[in-house]
Amino acid sequence: MLLNRTRFVTLFAAGMLVSALAQAHPKLVSSTPAEGSEGAAPGKIELHFSENLVAQFSGAKLVMTAMPGMEHSPMAVKTAVSGGGDPKTMIITPASPLTAGTYKVDWRAVSSDTHPITGSVTFKVK
């Protein structure tokens, strides 16, 4: 009986640890501009995550994927990536104003569990 109780407690504790680690993965909660939105050129792009980010392992790149009436290979856009006042926020600031076209932000977020999560946000500038 004692062996079964010890085994149960050990398995339960291991399950709780795995559950806690899984919850530590950052998830993209929202972005400005929002996924699939169309509007004026943003001065900055904000990504808001569910967990605090480890800045030295997190980052993003911005590419222009299409111009009005013309598809083309993705063209990198020069940016600065920084954290916001909130450690759950990543800010991407273009070096110059964005022109009309479709843009994609490819991001990499790492939180305290050090497991990288990647994703992207696409938006259009009129």
Tally of domains within the chain: 1
Q: Is residue 105 part of a domain?
A: yes
CB within 8 A of 87, min separation 6: which ones?
52, 53
pLDDT tens per residue across span 17-43: 444 444 568 999 999 999 999 999 999
Q: Is residue 6 part of a domain?
A: no
Mean pLDDT of the chain: 87
pLDDT at 91: 98
pLDDT at 7: 59
Q: Is residue 10 part of a domain?
A: no
Q: Is residue 14 part of a domain?
A: no
pLDDT tens per residue across span 84-95: 789 999 999 999
**Enclosing domain of residue 102:** 26-125
- The CATH number of whichever domain residue 44 belongs to comes to 2.60.40.1220
pLDDT over 80 (residue 101): yes
- Cα 96 from Cα 76, distance rounded (Å): 12
Q: What is the pTM of this model?
A: 0.80
Q: Is residue 112 part of a domain?
A: yes
Mean pLDDT, residues 50-72 taken together? 93
Q: Is residue 15 part of a domain?
A: no
Going from the C-alpha of 62 to that of each of 7, 10, 16, 89, 108, the distances in angstroms are 50, 46, 38, 16, 12
